[in-house]
Structures are given as structure tokens and as C-alpha cells.
Amino acid sequence: MIVSIVPVEEIYRNIPLTRVQTRDGRKKDESGNPLTRKGDVFSNIEGGYVQWQTIQLADLKNTKKLFPDYKVLDSQVLQDVVNRVETSFSNFTTPDKNGNRRASQDSKGFTTTNPSLTLN
């Protein structure tokens, strides 16, 4: 797989400020009406932060063009990876109600049977 380093200016240059809902949403209210409708406009930048998860999910077609190795992967697999990264990052950066980070044990250190490799 070929990896390239892209300057930050290049990454931000192509991010649209808004996105348009392309179909009625799946979530419904009590009356059975969709919460979002086709044609609704949403911001890609909220509170000064880019909504990377939404942008990456919407741009998977171009990702497959830029990285031909990704063509062998199903789109659902790539979508799942984006969602898992977002969940993991959110768990790592957002404290719970007690102020503790919800990072997995893997990111808090590891132990082995070899004492020279123990990190805590």
C-alpha cells in the first residue's frame, strides 16, 4: 500500500462547508415521519470542528479512486472502520461522569511474561 503525506492546507481545501441530505432519514418520530428529509442542509463544521466521520463516510468513493488497494474491500467494511475509529477516539478523549477516560485496556499499557518488556 502506498502512503502519502498531504499538507494540511490540501486536506482542508476540498472540505465543503455544508452537505445536503440525499434521501429521507431512517430514524422516525412518534408519528412515523422521518426526522431528516431529502434536501435538508447540514453544516460539516460544528463548533469550529470538522465533522470528519461524516466527511469520510461521504467520500469513500474518492478514497477508493485515490488508493486502488481499497477497491478489494467492501464499502461496509470501510464504513465500519471509520465508525470504529470515531468511537475509539471519542472514548479516549471524552471523560466519563467521574472524570476518567474510557480508553481500552490496550491503550493503558500492557504486561508480558518477559519482565524486560513490561510497560505500565
How many angstroms separate the CA atoms of 1 and 6, rounded? 16
Report the pLDDT value the prediction gives residue 11, as an integer from 0 to 100.
60
What string of pLDDT tens digits covers the 120 residues of the chain? 455 565 656 666 667 788 888 888 888 889 988 888 899 898 887 877 778 888 888 888 878 887 888 889 888 998 898 889 888 888 877 777 787 766 655 545 544 455 554 444
**pTM (2 d.p.):** 0.54
Report the pLDDT value the prediction gives residue 95, as an integer from 0 to 100.
77
How many angstroms separate the CA atoms of 80 and 83, rounded? 5
Q: List the one residue out of 6, 36, 14 whose CA is nearest residue 23.
A: 36
